[in-house]
Amino acid sequence: MARRAECYVEKSRGPMSDIPEVYIMKALMFERFGGPEVLYYAEAPDPPMKPGTALVRMKAAGLNFADIYRRRGGYYLAGDPPYILGYEGAGIVEQVSSDLDGIRAGDRVAFADVPFANAELVSAPADRLIPLPYDISFEQAAAILLQGLTAHYLVHDSYHVRPGDDVVIHAAAGGVGQLLIQMSKNKGARVAGITSSNAKREAALKAGADEVLFYDDDWVHDVIGWSQSGCGANVVYDSIGSTLMNSFAAVQTKGTVVFFGMAGGDPPNIDPRMLMDSSKSLVGGDLWNHLTTRNQRLERAETLFADLRMGRLELEEPKQFALEDGEAAHRLLEGRGNTGKILLIP
């Protein structure tokens, strides 16, 4: 999710300096990289109305680890501070540019990849907007889109999960982890999750995992013993990064490791000879390579909404914070004591 962010809060210089300094909306911002304490809630100019965009009055924004990485300075941010975080959310269209057809003021919409979502108003390119059915709440959309779209491509594209597969999921109690569990079970797989606490173990079991192992134990040995072949899993979904070599040890010959995150730090270098000798596969995963058109966004999102409707996917009740309490929300997510999704409510 290492997408580049830009900055539209510009007061006196740079490419946005012609924007009048009219302070109407409020946003969660920061001017220097660091911990949650660098965040502050303040007035900012309304985003500019550009061709091909709609102005969305935000009702809920999803908080993700990518926001933490950006706040720490791990991702490149264009423009000058102050910066506004956030890429995921849902709300009501307030205004549309004159060149748009098919989107009107009053429409309920959601998005997974529009910058500056931690604000009361967001300027969204029309091709990023996903119509929100009336039976899906703003909170549900902000809680499922980014992580649900991620889980969807992981089980359908990065590795096509099949009935009877043994699937291992890192960070199984997290938002992506819980959805990966459910999607894998829906496809007929056996699922083992890996977590770090009893509370997270219970969350993963509630999501449908057949077995849940602990990072503090010898989980590689436990995965091999749990697997039907006695030789390891068919696939391991690794969002930790630093665990990558252990993930390879936990898959069987001709097994697959899907690497899609670095929550635990940078992964080690992989020796191609190891892959050759074991016939194991390493697959990289990035959502934005799978969402390159509006139709792809709509098709995958409609699948998620349908699965919510039918009860094939269930969301743990998201933890909600007022947008002005964004610092506390960041502390909770960064502390890794949370399960499920955290939302910011303007």
How far apart CA 109 and CA 305 sit, in angstroms, is 13
In this structure, what are the phi and psi dihedrals at residue 31, rounded to the nearest 5 degrees?
-115, -15
Arch. (CATH architecture) of 23-144+289-345: Alpha-Beta Complex (3.90)
Q: CA of 147: how far to CAs of 6, 131, 142, 175, in Å?
A: 22, 18, 9, 6
In sequence order, the 6+-apart residues with CB closer than 8 A to the CB of 152 are: 183, 300, 303, 304
Q: Classify domain 163-284 at the CATH superfamily level.
A: NAD(P)-binding Rossmann-like Domain (3.40.50.720)
What are the structure tokens assigned to 49, written together?
């109305």
Helices then strands, each counted (H, E), the chain:
9, 16
Per residue in 283-336, pLDDT (tens digit) is 998 998 998 999 999 999 999 999 999 999 999 889 999 999 999 999 999 887
Amino acid at 116: F
With a cut of 50, list the residues of the chain below it in pLDDT.
1-20
The domain limits of the chain are 23-144+289-345, 163-284
Per-residue confidence (pLDDT) for residue 204, from 0 to 100: 96
How far apart CA 86 and CA 28 sit, in angstroms, is 9
3-state helix, strand, coil in the chain (%, to 5): 30, 25, 40
Per-residue confidence (pLDDT) for residue 207, from 0 to 100: 96
Asked, colleague to colleague, whether 23-144+289-345 and 163-284 share their fold, the answer is no
Amino acid at 317: E
What are the structure tokens assigned to 134, written together?
């009336």
